[in-house]
Chain A
Amino acid sequence: MKENLVIDVSDLPGYAFGHRSVMWWGTLGIMVIEGTMFAVMIGIYFYLRGRVPDWPPNSAPPELRYGIANTLVLVASVIPNVWYQRAAEREDLKKVQIGLLISLAFAVAFIVLRFYEFTTLNCHWTNNAYGSAVWTLMGLHTTHLITDFIDSVVLTALMFTNLVEGKRFSDVSENAFYWYFVVITWLPIFVVIYLVPRWI
């Protein structure tokens, strides 16, 4: 039998971070899907805007205070996320555990503020298409937020057990990656819901 060349992969790592990891690509796939969904929803909002002379029709725009507060909370939450993501890439378990808990606290604050946001939207989904669009857009983002929160709670709990291996740190890193996406998608939604009715 002839001799074949051999590619020996036995000492390659058993996990990886960032774009080298398969999970990262999966997470990116989900981001693109959800991002598309938000983009389409924003498109629907602007399409409906073009159909009527006044916007919002027959009501005041959503009140700014909770929206701005929440935006600040969300943007601030990036800091602990960056911190624990770096810790994860160094596989520093203690720092990862602390960072995840801090990040969860921010998420809880955000959810509470979101509840208040819903009470000051100054419109109802049954009133008109504007109300429907605003509530649906907020609803989509809130669902997105709550599912990521639950996901993070589970991951945080896992990091306190003895089932931690290298791949877990990679998962933690991706969790932060996904959180940046939650923050970034909020910014255009904030502009659309709170600022657009005041500007156009």
Chain B
Amino acid sequence: MTPTEEATRTADAERDETPNDERERRQLEETWKEPGGFFGWFRCVHHTTIGRRFIITAFIFFLLGGVEAVMIRIQLARPENRFLGPDLYNQIFTMHGSTMMFLFAVPVMEALGVYLVPLMVGTRNIAFPRLNAFGYYVYLFGGIFLYTMFLLNTGPDNGWFNYVPLSGPEYAPGKRSDTWAQMITFTELSALVVAVELIVTIFKLRAPGMSLNRIPLFVWAILVISFMIIFAMPTIALASTCLILDRLITTQFFNPAEGGDVLLWQHLFWFFGHPEVYIIFIPATGIVSSILPVFCRRKVFGYTALVLSLVSTGFIGFGLWLHHMFATNLPKVGQSFFTAASMMIAIPTGVQIFCWIATLWGGRLRFKTPLLFVLGFFLNFIIGGLSGVMVASVSLDQQVHDTFFVVAHLHYVLIGGAVFPLFAGFYYWFPKFTGRMLSEGLGRWVFALFMIGFNLTFFPMHQLGLKGMPRRVYTYLPEMGWGGLNLLSSIGGLIIAVSVLLFVIDVFRSLRAGELAGDNPWEADTLEWATSSPPPAYNFARLPTVAGRAALWDRREDQPIIKGVRSDLREMLVTNVLDAEPDHKTVLPSPTIWPFLSAVAVTGLFIGSIFTPWAVPVGAIPVAIALVGWFWPNRQEHEEELSAERDGRPPQEVEA
């Protein structure tokens, strides 16, 4: 029997429930059900609910960022175009970059992690579920804040990187720059709390048998980026705080006249900014590693090499930031080190690509839409990676830095390297999220249009950069000879828009009338496919155990089942870090309004503090009250906890 046939047989067998099982399942449903009604919406704490909201919100921001991109392309389609004046254009390209990087790219990858990781590791909810909800609301409010300010003509207009002195108190009057800086605070807080939850889930809540060398590659990817987020994001949170302090209470961090330094901003920003792009790319590689085995009907080639590549990319990614500052006249010796490091990071990436090709080489392929997007990823990302090697060179970068060549490079790696795998992931996991399949036929059209549109938009930009067109220009002179390529690029942009529109249409159509998916329509190997589509609120009727890397394909005849976790409480199994052996049990919190209220209080503090420093002590009071409300247990929670603790032995008696 092939692995997939085996998995199907086992799944079928498990559906033969005894009456006991059915009783237990119904009790689980009752215990874990999500609150309904209007107010209930604000109290949900299950990871699939929050994850779904996260994904949808991030996708809406993707669409908004896309609209901004189309507006940019319309303005640049002809020289001396008057579609957008300089002020609006500068706000729009800033909003485009900020939306895509802060409100879409990182959140959507974390969102996939929030939804899938607990399922993939075989547990019932993410660690710290209330914090998860809080993280979502803070992200949502941050995005709403940014767009509200934009609509009030106070949108940031100094680029997504907001360099000083242009963004400082002297040259950026008003609240535009502060809006950007505080949007950072919202999104970084959200990303950080989610990162902590994901790490703890991956370390402590895995199914027995899922030792560290058996976790799916997507989970490895999420683990690596969660660590990266923890080390990278505080830097930019601090930098944006220093900027607000300079603007609001006259600190002098970035003022050369009083001992500050304009380059300090760039160092801080890019120390975060470079890892940021790997934070976006690495989960995409996790998606590719998830999809390839399924559509090649074999296990991925080189699991260990792939894991080591992920980890080393994460590490090396922190040592590249200076390559964004090659034009600032820093000492040559230092620059050379960063060139070497920037080229070196291509090696682990290359390892991944070769392992994937090896996987395809030995596989029996099914050319469904997820695989098509993965193949598109290969073509586009490799172009982006190669142009990356080019810009790693100091000498060449001095010509192409801050030109459309870099715009081409970054879009090839970000769209090619992250958005294409993301769309592959959407087509792959949509059945799991919703219980219905997306349309294969429409999917091929979406893919083809996206491929053509994307390459038509961004490939000419390589040439434009080399022909002297700088970035962030709202128009250009006709005699420069850039009009033709720009027009081509803008047409490509419209084709992308059509492709995305088709995708959105397909989503709505499939939600209502798509083919029913069943548990495992792709005959895949990871644990999320071992439960219904969409998963019930308790994820698995029986907590799974695992015997190999491909959980469902390596399932044994006598695969152990877990007994003894209560179904009348939100009880979960905590396992140890290395071997995932059961260690103790814990009761997770039930739905509550406090994460939402805390997020509202925090939002008040953040928004107030760009207007007056007093907002900090004053705003801290509602935050403190909300947090106390969150943590203070009520009688029912106390009784439940006591009841659960009485089941087991005291921890002091049990060896770790």
A residues sitting closer than 8 Å to B (CB atoms) are 1-22, 25-26, 29-30, 32-34, 36-37, 40-41, 44, 47-48, 51-52, 57, 89-91, 125-133, 135-136, 150, 154, 158, 163, 165-167
Contact = CB atoms under 8 A, between A and B. Distances in A.
B195 to A, nearest CB: 8
B629 to A, nearest CB: 10
Contacts of B582: 7, 9, 12
B234 A12 contact: no
Contact of B557 (A2, A10, A51, A127): A2
A135 B246 CA distance: 13
Given A16-B583, A127-B252, A154-B631, A25 B203 contact: yes
B183 to A, nearest CB: 19
Contacts of A3: 558
Contacts of A51: 259, 261
Interface in B184-224: 192, 195-197, 199-200, 203-205, 208
Contacts of A2: 13, 557-558
A13 B251 contact: no
Interface residues of B, number: 80
Interface string B624-656: 100010011101001001101111111111101
Contact of A12 (B131, B559, B648): B648
B584 A6 contact: no
A132 B253 contact: yes
B234 A133 contact: no
Contacts of A12: 564, 573, 582-585, 648-649, 654
A29 B561 contact: no
A52 B635 CA distance: 60
A48 B251 CA distance: 13
B638 A165 contact: yes
B127 A22 contact: yes
Contacts of B253: 44, 48, 129, 132-133
Contact of A33 (B234, B259, B650): B234
Given A1-B13, A33-B230, A135-B251, A20 B584 contact: yes
- Most-contacted residue by chain B among A3, A11, A26 (CB, 10 A): A26
B271 to A, nearest CB: 8
Contacts, number: 215
B587 interface: yes
A15 B231 contact: no
Contact of B230 (A9, A25, A29, A165): A29
Given A44-B264, A125-B251, A154-B628, A130 B584 contact: no
B616 to A, nearest CB: 9
Interface stretch (B237-245, B308-316, B333-341, B359-367): B237-245
Contacts of B654: 12-13
Contacts of B255: 129
29 contacts: A6-B560, A7-B562, A8-B564, A9-B565, A9-B582, A11-B649, A12-B648, A13-B650, A14-B586, A16-B574, A20-B584, A20-B656, A22-B128, A22-B200, A29-B199, A29-B230, A33-B192, A36-B231, A37-B234, A40-B234, A44-B253, A89-B652, A129-B253, A129-B260, A132-B245, A132-B246, A132-B260, A163-B638, A165-B638
Interface string B604-615: 000000000000
Given A5-B560, A9-B573, 17 more contacts: A6-B562, A7-B582, A10-B647, A10-B648, A12-B573, A12-B648, A16-B584, A20-B574, A22-B200, A25-B203, A29-B230, A40-B271, A57-B259, A126-B249, A129-B258, A129-B259, A166-B650
